[in-house]
Amino acid sequence: MGEFELITNYFSKAGSPRTDVHCGVGDDGAVLQVRDGYDLVVTTDTMVVGTHFFADVDPRALGHKLVAVNVSDLAAMGAEPSWLSLALTVPVIQPDWLSEFAAGLHETAEYFNCQLVGGDTTKGPLSLTMIAKGQVPRGKAIKRSGAKVGDYIYVTGTLGDAALGLRLVQGVQQVSKKHQAHILQRFHYPTARVALGQALRSVASSAMDISDGLAGDIYHILQRSAVGAYIDVQKLPLSQALKDSCDSAQAMQLALSGGEDYELLFTVPDSKRGALDVLLSPYGVPVTCIGRITGQTGKLELKAGEQVFSYQHKGFEHF
Ligand code: ADP
Ligand code: MG
């Protein structure tokens, strides 16, 4: 099998063909029709073997995760996911691996109503780059820069599960049988909070998705918005699986600094908190208020009962 057969066999299948794709895989470029009155939102995420995933990971899960982490960025902007491109680098053509990877990619793309519209295929150390494109009503994208002093800070879902999943996969931590499936699911098959992200357009002053851990990621909002924040660590939403698998100090540490949960972190002004409760009810995603925005630019404080600590940022950075 050569490069072009590979593309035809695995990547040119139109999972859920969209009527706004006038030209997809097979030409020099894709031709995509952006809806009238909408802005185009574009994001890119790369996953490199050894850095983002283990070489022996289930390729189907990998295909899923590549789509989910990209779509999660669109969700955080309040955008509706539409189109995907894939830059794939593989050392050799392994049909079984590619077929599973493509299946995971296409099924997740279909789930989010996205279509793969192009890409590039090269030989080299295993590396996956996806570009996701979405649409948002003009001017309505939720940015990191809109948080204001006094806004309430919220997160979706539970935090720390993916980090525990990583520890389980690495064999450095035990998780009881009854919780293993949930924890592995959270690590290998993260969800992107797409519907919720779009609903937040009318209430959130800022938003982002948590990929590298809450405490590190929130700094991006603090810096872009020129504000500070406090987080009440006793309010951090923890799954039963996490609580049963860790002592409270470790649970808190994983929830604060563990990466890859892909939950949304967002801020809401006091005047919109009532609207938020009403708006959230159809989504069935738990949302927890964990703190407030303060006027101390760039400063994150952690509260536990009466105690307040200043948090020293040690989030993950590649270099
Ligand atoms: P070009 O040389 O003009 O850049 P290529 O020969 O690299 O085009 O690719 C042929 C077609 O296949 C293009 O439409 C491209 O978008 C698509 N394509 C290449 N690799 C992938 C991939 N991994 N996934 C999806 N589409 C791909
Ligand atoms: Mg060309």
Q: Using CA atoms of 66, 162, 230, 193 in order, give the dihedral in degrees to the nearest 10.
A: 50
Strand partners of residue 88: 121, 128
Question: Of all protein residues, whose CA lies closest to atom 5 belonging to ligand 1?
Answer: 120
Centre of ligand 1 to C-alpha 4, Å, is 8
How many other CB atoms sit within 10 Å of the CB of residue 221? 25
Rounded distance between C-alpha atoms, residue 210 and residue 262, angstroms: 5
Question: Of all protein residues, whose CA lies closest to atom 8 belonging to ligand 1?
Answer: 28
Centre of ligand 1 to C-alpha 110, Å, is 20
pLDDT digits (tens, 9 = 90+) for 30-51: 999 999 999 999 999 999 999 9
Q: pTM, whole model, 2 decimals?
A: 0.95
For ligand 2, a single-atom ion, the residues with CB < 5 A are 28
Q: Which ligand is nearest to the CA of 29?
A: 1
Q: Phi/psi of residue 309, each to 5°?
A: -120, 145
Q: Which ligand is nearest to the CA of 26?
A: 1
Which residues contact residue 182 at a Cβ distance below 8 angstroms, ignoring those fewer than 6 apart? 161, 239, 241
| Best residue among 83, 99, 115, 120 to mutate for probing ligand 1, ranked by most atoms within 8 Å of CB | 120
For residue 27 and ligand 1, the question of a CB distance below 6 A is answered with yes
DSSP 8-state code for residue 246: S
% the chain with pLDDT above 70: 98
Region 290-309 average pLDDT: 94
State how far the alpha carbon of 168 is from the alpha carbons of 183, 191, 192, 269, in Å.
8, 19, 22, 38
Sequence letter at residue 14:
A
**pLDDT-derived band of residue 17, with 50, 70 and 90 as boundaries?**
confident
pLDDT digits (tens, 9 = 90+) for 222-252: 999 999 999 999 999 999 999 999 999 999 9
For residue 277 and ligand 1, the question of a CB distance below 6 A is answered with no
Region 140-169 average pLDDT: 98
Residue 139 exposed, middle or buried by CB count within 10 Å (0-12, 13-18, 19+): exposed
- The predicted pLDDT at position 40 comes to 98
